[in-house]
A and B are shown apart, each in its own frame.
Chain A
Amino acid sequence: MAVETISKTPEVSLPISSDSITLRISRFNPKNDLSPIFAEFKVPIQKWTTVLEAILFVKQNLDHSVAVRYSCRQASCGSCGMRINGKPALACYTKISELNSNIVTVEPMHNFPIIRDLAVDFKQMFANHKKMKPYIIREDSEIASDTKEFLQTPEDVEKYLQFSYCIKCGLCNSACPTMATDESFIGPQGLAQAYRYVADNRDDGKKERLKIIDQSHGIWRCHFAGSCSHVCPKGVDPAMAIQLLRGYLLGFRK
């Protein structure tokens, strides 16, 4: 892979003088480029500087054309997923000081089409997410005047709570080895969401969802590598959700 080095040094000075790192950003525009190249930037850091802040420093001071998707800066929106030193992670949630390296390489996530540089296309992931019918399915309603709120015990909530923390950042899909070869695979994100609603005792759509995932590119293509759970920034365990869903399909769970 070719490496383009940009020797431009920052003209601004931060309030507290600090160390600096080399930030290597993968640059690729599928419309113009044949393969990605790396652009290198010297970025001053402090011990609390996150990877996203370093990228934004580059955008503000060195090269405004770097494409990156971000929004909340607090690991809530799931926009800034990328590979940081080879590992899928949220840029806003990864401190540079925790990486123990003077060179930080940021690349777009695997298993997603690249829009430009670090921004990837989530279309397929969102389509798979929607396919899982990510809402409560039941005949009656808790908002009609003659009904009451659907009650759940803390134990009922516990069954699906961690899976409802998913922020759709796509890191699990990026880490999934099956997704690397099988582009039709639903992926750990979609499957974990299917389990989130299947395990919810207010929901009556279990049969529908199990039918959707019980296909040739569905749940059975998971090899249980477990990398999806390893990279999730919100502590969701999609690998476990997949095994629990398999329990329903094999008849071990009702």
Chain B
Amino acid sequence: MRESIIMKIHYGTALGAVALVTIHILFRMTQNFSESLQYQNVIANYHLLPYALMLEVVLILLSVHGFNGLRVILLELKQGIVYEKLINYGSIGAMAALIAYGSRTILMAGMGMS
């Protein structure tokens, strides 16, 4: 993939994440901060399908942005064909693993499993 497309995704995911995390924070402000972190209230968020979907999108946006950022930093630290392939594929793998694990958590919490 061309680097400009990757960077467009990088900037787009940053903007998307800022917008959605802002919504997430605004939702926290509908009640006291300590209340919003109570177990029942947190679980209630996952039971609300649109909110759970938003959390899933936030997870994807932050994972893509974060791991691409890490990839860029690591590519600047050291160069070499093998190293760069390892970093590129490693970042994609780690990103997929984090999204899978986070999605599993969202799904389990949404289905009432603990």
Contact = CB atoms under 8 A, between A and B. Distances in A.
Interface string B1-45: 011101110000000000000000000000000000000000000
A205 B75 CA distance: 29
A250 interface: yes
Interface in B66-83: 72, 75-77, 79
Contacts of A183: 79
Interface in A75-127: none
Summarize B's interface: helix, strand, loop or mixed.
helix
Contact of A182 (B3, B4, B6, B75): B75
A220 B10 CA distance: 11
B2, B3, B4, B79: most-surrounded residue (chain A CB, <10 A): B4
B77 A181 contact: yes
A217 B7 contact: no
A131 B75 CA distance: 21
A218 B79 contact: no
B72 A182 contact: no
Contacts of B8: 250
A165 B22 CA distance: 47
B76 A221 contact: yes
Nearest to B80: A184
Contacts of A178: 76
A181 B4 contact: no
A218 B3 contact: yes
Given A221-B72, A250-B8, A216 B3 contact: yes
Q: How large is the interface on B (under 10, 10 to 19, 20 to 34, 35 or more residues)?
A: 10 to 19
A214 interface: yes
A215 interface: yes
Nearest to B10: A220
Interface in A189-248: 214-221
Interface residues of A, number: 16
Nearest to A211: B2
B4 A216 contact: no
Contacts of B3: 214-216, 218-220
A195 to B, nearest CB: 15
A249 B4 contact: yes
A216 B75 contact: yes
B84 interface: yes
A140 to B, nearest CB: 30
B4 A250 contact: yes
Contacts of A249: 4
Given A181-B76, A182-B75, A217-B75, 11 more contacts: A181-B77, A214-B3, A216-B3, A216-B84, A219-B3, A220-B3, A220-B4, A220-B6, A220-B7, A221-B75, A250-B4
Interface of B: 2-4, 6-8, 72, 75-77, 79, 84
List the 9 closest pairs (A to B, CB-CB), nearest first: A249-B4, A182-B76, A184-B79, A214-B4, A220-B7, A220-B3, A181-B76, A214-B3, A214-B2
